[in-house]
Amino acid sequence: MAFEELLEDPVVQTYLHELVGPRGMPVAAAPPDGEVTDEELAEDLDLELNDVRRALFILYENDLASYRRLRDEDSGWLTYLWTFEYGKVPEQLEGEMHKLVDALEARREYERDNEFYLCEGEGVRYEFAEAMDFGFECPDGSPMEPMDNGHLVEAIDRRLAELRNELNVEIEA
């Protein structure tokens, strides 16, 4: 996928937005070619320098940007020259998908391994032990109803199958 196409992909845009937030998105969405200073970015994008620096460090922490330091011989000041490295985005998104698979598998096991009771008035569900502690009575005095969470387990299974297909990996049933 070409660099420009990568940045136009809504999944990539959402990923970048989740990383840097709305204030950092102008920095992440329009990376310049070559090296650039944080001050240049702030001026070019008409943003606060602190917002630019925050976005750059988040991108750096996620291996999407790198920098090199230059020391001014006269003043001793350090200048950071930033480079954007978005070629790693596809593999990072795949890593996020694997994390999602792990979380969904854990949630599926939790849903399968527990019995739930529902207080419809409050829309709150309780595990069996919690329901027993309350005497199977809701805070409003009504009886707790057993809850069938089969539809939730099925939805998790469908999502796991979609992810397995997209990642081309086996996921335990």
Long-range contacts: 1-8, Cβ < 8 Å, 24+? 1/90, 3/86, 3/87, 6/86, 6/89, 6/90, 7/31, 7/86
Architecture of domain 3-84: Orthogonal Bundle (1.10)
- pLDDT tens digits for 87-127? 888 888 888 889 999 999 999 999 999 999 999 988 999 99
Q: Interhelix angle for 38-45 vs 10-29, to 10°? A: 100
For residue 86, name the pLDDT band (cuts at 50, 70, 90): confident
Alpha-carbon distance 106 to 80, whole Å?
42
Q: Kindly state the greatest CA–CA separation across the chain.
A: 78
DSSP state for residue 30 in the 8-state scheme: S
Is the overall model pTM greater than 0.75, yes or no?
no
Task: Tell me the pLDDT band of 4, cut-offs 50, 70 and 90.
Answer: low
Domain boundaries, the chain: 3-84, 90-167
